[in-house]
Amino acid sequence: MRKFNLILAVIALALLPLTCSYNLYLLRRPFLMQRPEVDQSARAILNKIPGGRVLKYQIGRSLLQGASYKLYIDHYHDGELVERHDRSSGGIDSWIGTQPFAQLYIYSGTDREAGDCWFGFGPAYGTLRFKPADDYYHPVFEGPDKLRFEKNKPLTLAVLAFSDQVWPSSQPGPAFDKKGALKPEALQHGDIFLVQLEFTDSLAPIE
Amino acid sequence: MAELKAGFDVVRKHHWLWLLPVVLSLGGLFLNMLLLGEWPLSPPGLHFKATIPASIPEIGNIIPGPNLGLASGSFGVFVLALVVTLFKTFLNAGYLAGGVRALKGESVDMPTFWADCQHFFKRSLLIGLLLLFAAPVSFAVLAAIHPIVALVAAFVAIIYLFFWQIAIVYEDLGLREGFTRGHTIMRENLSEIVPLLLIILLMSGVASLILSPLARYYWGHLLAILIWSFVGASLFIALIHRYSELAGQRQ
């Protein structure tokens, strides 16, 4: 019996450092979300946009516990940063709740009948949404295949650019109004909007 | 109660009874980390999970487990889950038999444990398969008639099935004889067994309330595994002890 006890104790003592060191590895790595899935359960938000789609990404909760985030949009014109528009920031406990994963959604759609395009992104449906309601503009939207976050480095969630049609000539300038809505009339040929998400300081507690 | 004291005494003397659950829980933890990409800590909030350990006690019995919905669509994960379930059934058979030996004062070594696993595996697997397929279907059908009918049926099923596997292993019986023996002993001694089951449920519930907040932290999770492996194993042995006394009285 002593030998049996000893074998089990040795296995337990071998598993203990293995588990702990693997956990250290998991905490230190920049974290990667899995390939996004088209979320059928989110069809409700696309009811009015038949051509729309929702990509759902998931991040493990232990990587996010205690972390905070910044979500902003960088507006570039011909490669130059014109403005940074802050959308939201704060702790991300509300993203997680009691779930084992934090959900992050990126969604887009085109309503051809109404002639408008839109997209949104964020931890829950409908958090942020642009609606350039003029069929003059044609947003080009792509959700990334994988999201790889590193502490204090912004990650581009989505790019909003426009097709090279004839544009009204005006000086490049801010494209957001005071309420944070995109002003269609302010858009320029060559404008690109990068939706940036950044996890700050408290992410990855092991240094 | 005497059974509980006997359970704790036996586990204190036979260390393998708590070491094996520790190994299984740590192995399960590591596997979960590989699948989920993170340590499955207990979510915030108060959690209450009462259980009657009828096999190897694992930490997942009393604290909220990880949600494997992320990977459930994968065929590889399904195969892995199947292999793990079969392996656990194999070990459970030997654990139960080893618990009976320990209670009788016999020492259990590796070859004995392995031989017991092999000897009782087929019967344990059949019981597991029967319960896996029959129980949810019957419960769903009865619940469709009336929820109270389903609850009464569940209570009757517990009476008839609870000592089934213990009877098979304790007295080395076949499936049918074990079933008859188990439910006869349970039915004839219901007034003595139910209080013990309630006390075990209460103790596991209290353990769940204490260990769930602890398992929100890495070190706490490890400590919770250690504590529940010891307590769960003792409660498990207490049950077998009760059965052995009742079976002895009947003879």
User: What residue ranges of chain A have pLDDT lower than 50?
Assistant: 125-128, 133-137, 164-170, 203-207
Cα A64 from Cα A66, distance rounded (Å):
6
Q: Looking at residues B13-28, what average pLDDT do you find?
A: 94
**Cα radius of gyration rounded to whole Å, chain A:** 22
Task: Give me the residue from A8, A23, A61 closest to B19, CB to CB.
Answer: A8
Q: Is B158 a residue whose pLDDT tops 80?
A: no
- Chain A residue whose CA is closest to B45: A98
Q: Is B187 a residue whose pLDDT tops 90?
A: no
Distance from CA of B196 to the nearest CA of A (A): 29
Q: Looking at residues B21-46, what average pLDDT do you find?
A: 85
Q: Which residues of A touch B22 (CB under 8 A)?
A: 8, 12
Q: Looking at residues B179-190, what average pLDDT do you find?
A: 88
**Sign of CA pseudo-dihedral B189, B192, B196, B201:** positive
Q: Is B107 on the interface with A (CB under 8 A)?
A: yes
Segment (H or E) for B118: helix B110-145
Q: Flag the least confident range among A4-8, A131-135, B45-49, B163-167.
A: A131-135
Tokens, residue B200: 């075990």
Q: Is A34 on the interface with B (CB under 8 A)?
A: yes
Q: Which residues of A137-173 are buried (b: 16+ CB within 10 A; e: fewer)?
A: bebebebbeebebeeeebbebbbbbbeeeeeeeeebe
- Chain A residue whose CA is closest to B16: A5
Sheet containing strand A139-140, edge to edge, reads A80-91, A68-77, A191-200, A155-162, A139-140
Distance from CA of B178 to the nearest CA of A (A): 29
B126, B175 Cβ separation under 8 angstroms: yes
- Chain A residue whose CA is closest to B43: A98
- Chain B residue whose CA is closest to A29: B37
Q: Flag the least confident range among A125-129, B76-80, B189-193.
A: A125-129
Tokens, residue A74: 């960088």
B227, B32 Cβ separation under 8 angstroms: no
- DSSP conformation class of B38: S
Q: Which residues of B touch A9 (CB under 8 A)?
A: 15, 19
- With tokens 């909760």, the residue in question is A61
Cα A11 from Cα A4, distance rounded (Å):
11
pLDDT tens-digit series, residues B207-231: 999 999 898 888 999 999 999 999 9
Say what angle helices B218-250 and A2-28 make with each other, to 10 degrees.
150
Backbone φ, ψ for residue A189 (5° rounding): -65, 130
Partner-chain contact B38 A1, CB within 8 Å: no
Q: Which residues of B193-229 are buried (b: 16+ CB within 10 A; e: fewer)?
A: beebeeebeebbeebbeebbbbbbebebbbebbbbbb
Got the DSSP string for B11-23?
HHH-THHHHHHHH
Q: Flag the least confident range among A96-105, B49-58, B95-104, B180-189.
A: A96-105
152-181 in chain B: CB under 8 A from chain A = none
Q: Which residues of A touch B19 (CB under 8 A)?
A: 5, 8-9, 12
Partner-chain contact B109 A1, CB within 8 Å: yes
The predicted pLDDT at position A50 comes to 53
Q: Which residues of A touch B37 (CB under 8 A)?
A: 26, 31, 60
The conformational region for residue A78 under phi > 0 = left, psi -120 to 50 = alpha, else beta, is left
Which residues, in sequence order, are CB contacts of A108 under 8 Å at separation 6+?
A: A52, A53, A117, A118, A119, A120, A139, A141, A143
Closest CA to B165 of B232, B97, B248, B87: B97
Is beta strand A101-111 parallel, antiparallel or unpaired with respect to A31-32?
unpaired
The predicted pLDDT at position A135 comes to 44
Cα A168 from Cα A80, distance rounded (Å):
19
Partner-chain contact A19 B38, CB within 8 Å: no
Q: Looking at residues B218-245, what average pLDDT do you find?
A: 93
Tokens, residue B174: 């076949």
What is the pTM assigned to this prediction? 0.70
Q: Which residues of B119-130 are buried (b: 16+ CB within 10 A; e: fewer)?
A: ebbebbbebbee
- DSSP conformation class of A150: B
Q: Which residues of B touch A22 (CB under 8 A)?
A: 30, 33-34
Q: Is B29 on the interface with A (CB under 8 A)?
A: yes
Partner-chain contact B16 A23, CB within 8 Å: no
153-192 in chain A: CB under 8 A from chain B = none
65-94 in chain A: CB under 8 A from chain B = none
Domain chopping of chain A, boundaries: 1-32, 33-200
B228, B62 Cβ separation under 8 angstroms: yes
A195, A182 Cβ separation under 8 angstroms: no
Q: Is B114 on the interface with A (CB under 8 A)?
A: no
The predicted pLDDT at position B72 comes to 47
The predicted pLDDT at position A8 comes to 94
Cα A166 from Cα A136, distance rounded (Å):
9
The predicted pLDDT at position A126 comes to 45
A125, A105 Cβ separation under 8 angstroms: yes
